[in-house]
């Protein structure tokens, strides 16, 4: 009954809100040049020739306000203004997106409650892309944001155009491209609370005007991250990042463009720096552990993209080839996370990925166009490490080699079948094969998935549109280590039903994007668990299918230009998600699923902010920005049906005051102004007790959230 009430209310909202906008609008007319720019907040604004927010959410350039997908576009200016330094930081500005990290080498990401895992050997449930290139591991969410044009967050299954592992949605990071004029910028920031410091710069221009252009950017970032080790000294969860990336663009003819991209990143930081905790409301910063668990990761990547206009066929052809490599090394770590020197571990991994894609975007007539293509992916993983039982002087090695190959064919038809009406139908076929072997076992996972998407769109006038869609998304499965009762676990999939609207009103001073959705989530790959080993000795960690999840919710982004100088902005997510059947979990582990929640998924979150710009002359201005980011209660992780840890909701106040003098800007900023205490992640003691450890070694584990920073930042453009 509650579900019916919620969906009825949401449907009424989706119908009523456009009616408000229609009441403020005249009959459909061609907009004047002054009316072509939608109202957007400072954290979403994009500047270009036509004043539109242009995104590539459907693998072609389109206006954000016209596409029937729930999308948030965060611009490069917003990234700097809001002190966002890693890809995962963008979650604060996007409804429905939730990202937690417990290591410099991995992150947990979910969209609308879909895609969460606690282990990075599982393929992501939310796709991660850099300039359209798929990144196969959640560790890429911790890479730096350097010289970014925008980040597009697409909510809901995106399989038809972006591929498998996008059942929750997709995050596409788009870097600035080379320019035909010389330009550059330098940015820096410092806050003393945890030795937070950041510096970045970029330059772009022509090597041969109109023929060959380049862009190069680099950055350095460091923070101590507040937690100290009270036993051995030093920082418990530091982070240092060094990065450089660049592009070359070659235009040999007006119908051909070639773009070569390259990147190198070095990330050194805490590796699962959990510490003993008395409970989910324990916010102690200084903790005792006997080893400083640090991981170093090196990322390398290169891609070559060719765009070709074939006017005779009314077709644009895009071909992309890419290579990505990440190498992580953790020489030693505290595997029991406490002051007693009982377990130590080392871990190393080399991940290499090659991808290729070919797309044909064809305009058949004024009303019909298509986008079809082929995709291939070849990824190898080689990992090795040790676990040492210190009191017994016993070291156990482990190693794993895996090959993941996939091929796909996809196509979408865009049909404008009547004035103001659009219908889109897409489908993607994916074939995946994963083979893995280690010292004592080998296995093969194979699967074929078909992911369709259907969307009906109504453009009521230039200011109002509504849409309804149904889409399927899927994620590939994988293989576990020796002794697991399920050497192979299957992929998971979701059907998502969505109704949405995008409209502006009051002479475009008010802009609203809103949607309601319902997810039918099958065989969900939840948090990893422990199961009795088939060897008859102890427990083994396994990735597994946990059952069925039902979720539904509402998302909205609202921006209101009160005056020429004063703007209000915000977003909100309301989500109800429950595990409705956990038989698969019980069949694998032999015990019941703890509670009925998906770990780390809040029931609500919101952003509310205001921005005021005071002009001081032709070039000078002062801008004040303040916002509150809030996250509701969420479940920690547990393997005990009698223990369901709940993390408290929290509110983070952030602000800045900036003086802008044309090409120069200086600002004072604060994040978490009131020093709110919260937990990034929490695992209760049942995870260690089921592994065979006993108190006091087996304890609750937590990682603290970031506390207050007050600092300064500056930018110079040239």
Question: Hey, where are the domains in the chain?
Answer: 2-192+415-717
Rounded average pLDDT over 431-440? 74
Rounded average pLDDT over 323-331? 93
Highest mean pLDDT among 148-162, 195-209, 423-437: 195-209
So what's the pLDDT on residue 180? 93
Angle (nearest 5°) at CA 337 between 333 and 338: 120
* CA atoms of 632 and 572, how far apart (whole Å): 11
pLDDT(707) > 90: yes
169-175/126-130 β-pairing: parallel
So what's the pLDDT on residue 322? 95
Angle (nearest 5°) at CA 652 between 651 and 654: 145
Rounded average pLDDT over 615-636? 92
Structure tokens at 680: 């990034």
* 513 strand-pairing partners: 502, 557
510 pLDDT band (50/70/90 cuts)? very high
Number of H helices, E strands in the chain: 5, 40
Q: Calculate what percentage of the chain has a pLDDT beyond 90.
A: 59
Residue 368's contacts (CB-CB under 8 Å, 6 or more residues apart) are: 413, 414, 415, 416
Look over the chain and give the mean of its residue pLDDT values, rounded to a whole number: 86
708 pLDDT band (50/70/90 cuts)? very high
How many CB atoms lie under 10 A from the CB of residue 673? 16
Does domain 2-192+415-717 sit in CATH 2.40.170.20? Answer: yes
pLDDT(83) > 50: yes
Q: Calculate what percentage of the chain has a pLDDT beyond 70.
A: 91
pLDDT tens for each residue of 375-433: 999 999 888 888 898 999 999 888 878 888 999 999 999 999 999 999 999 999 999 98
Q: What is this structure's pTM?
A: 0.88
Rounded average pLDDT over 123-141? 84
So what's the pLDDT on residue 536? 64
Cis peptide before 537 (omega within 30 of 0): no
pLDDT tens for each residue of 466-475: 999 999 999 9
pLDDT tens for each residue of 328-375: 999 988 888 888 898 898 999 999 999 999 999 999 999 999 999 999
So what's the pLDDT on residue 7? 37
Rounded average pLDDT over 224-237? 91
Q: Identify which has the larger pLDDT, 499 or 52.
A: 499
pLDDT(523) > 50: yes
């Amino acid at each position: 009954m509650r579900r019916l009430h919620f969906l009825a209310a949401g449907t009424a909202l989706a119908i009523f809100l456009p009616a408000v906008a229609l009441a403020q609008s005249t009959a459909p007319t061609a907009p004047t040049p002054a009316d072509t720019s939608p109202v957007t907040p400072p954290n979403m604004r994009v500047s270009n020739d036509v004043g539109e927010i242009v995104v590539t959410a459907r693998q072609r350039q389109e206006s954000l306000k016209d596409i029937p997908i729930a999308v948030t576009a965060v611009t490069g200016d917003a990234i700097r203004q809001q002190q966002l330094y890693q890809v995962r930081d963008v979650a604060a500005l996007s409804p429905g997106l939730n990202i937690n990290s417990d290591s410099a080498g991995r992150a947990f990401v979910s969209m609308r409650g879909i895609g969460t895992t606690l282990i990075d050997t599982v393929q992501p449930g939310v796709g991660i892309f850099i300039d359209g290139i798929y990144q196969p591991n959640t560790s890429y969410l911790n890479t730096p944001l350097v010289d970014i044009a925008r980040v597009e967050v697409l909510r809901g299954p995106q399989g038809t155009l972006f591929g498998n592992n996008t059942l929750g949605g997709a995050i596409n990071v788009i870097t600035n491209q080379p320019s035909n004029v010389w330009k550059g910028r330098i940015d820096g920031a410092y806050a003393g609370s945890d030795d937070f410091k950041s510096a970045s710069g970029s330059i772009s221009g022509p090597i041969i005007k109109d023929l060959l252009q380049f862009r190069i950017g680099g950055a350095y970032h460091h923070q101590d991250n507040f937690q100290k080790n009270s036993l051995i000294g030093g920082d418990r969860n530091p982070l240092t990042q060094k990065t450089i990336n660049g592009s070359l663009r070659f235009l040999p003819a007006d119908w051909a463009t070639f773009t070569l991209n390259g990147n190198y990143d070095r990330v050194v930081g805490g590796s699962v720096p959990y510490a003993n905790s008395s409970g989910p409301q324990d916010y102690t910063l200084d903790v005792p552990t006997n080893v400083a668990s640090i991981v170093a990761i090196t990322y390398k990547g290169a891609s070559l993209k060719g765009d070709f206009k074939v006017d005779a066929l009314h077709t644009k052809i895009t071909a992309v080839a890419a290579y990505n490599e990440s190498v992580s090394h953790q020489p030693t770590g505290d595997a029991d996370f406490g002051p007693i020197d009982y377990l130590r571990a080392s871990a190393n991994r080399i991940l290499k990925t090659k991808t290729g894609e070919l797309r044909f975007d064809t305009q058949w007539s004024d009303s019909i166009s298509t986008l079809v293509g082929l995709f291939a992916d070849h990824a190898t993983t080689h990992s090795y490490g040790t676990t040492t039982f210190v009191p017994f002087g016993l070291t156990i090695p482990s190693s794993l080699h895996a090959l993941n190959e996939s091929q796909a064919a996809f196509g979408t038809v865009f049909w404008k079948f009547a004035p103001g009406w659009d219908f889109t139908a897409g489908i993607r076929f994916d074939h995946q094969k994963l083979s893995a072997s280690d010292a004592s076992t080998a296995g093969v996972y194979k699967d074929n998935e078909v992911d369709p998407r259907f969307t009906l769109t109504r453009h009521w006038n230039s200011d109002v549109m509504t849409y309804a869609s149904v889409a399927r998304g899927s994620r590939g499965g994988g293989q576990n280590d020796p002794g697991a009762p399920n050497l192979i676990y299957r992929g998971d999939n979701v059907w998502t039903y969505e109704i949405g609207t995008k409209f502006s009103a009051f002479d475009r001073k008010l802009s609203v994007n809103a949607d309601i959705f319902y997810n039918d989530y099958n065989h969900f790959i939840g948090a990893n668990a422990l199961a009795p080993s088939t060897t008859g000795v102890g427990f083994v960690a396994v990735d597994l299918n946990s059952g069925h999840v039902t979720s539904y919710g509402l998302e909205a982004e609202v921006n209101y230009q009160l005056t020429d100088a004063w703007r209000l902005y915000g977003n909100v997510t309301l989500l109800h998600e429950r595990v409705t059947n956990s038989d698969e979990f019980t069949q694998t582990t032999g015990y019941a699923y703890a509670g009925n929640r998906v770990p780390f998924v809040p029931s609500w979150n919101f952003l509310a902010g205001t921005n005021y710009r005071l002009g001081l002359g032709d070039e000078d201005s002062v801008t004040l920005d303040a916002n509150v980011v809030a996250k509701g209660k969420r479940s920690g992780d547990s393997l005990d049906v009698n223990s369901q840890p709940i993390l408290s909701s929290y509110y983070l106040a952030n602000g800045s005051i900036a003086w802008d003098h044309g090409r120069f800007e200086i600002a004072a900023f604060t994040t978490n102004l009131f020093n709110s205490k919260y937990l990034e992640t929490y695992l209760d003691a049942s995870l260690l007790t089921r592994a065979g450890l006993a108190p006091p070694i087996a304890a609750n584990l937590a990682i603290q959230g970031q506390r207050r920073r007050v600092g300064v930042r500056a930018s110079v453009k040239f």
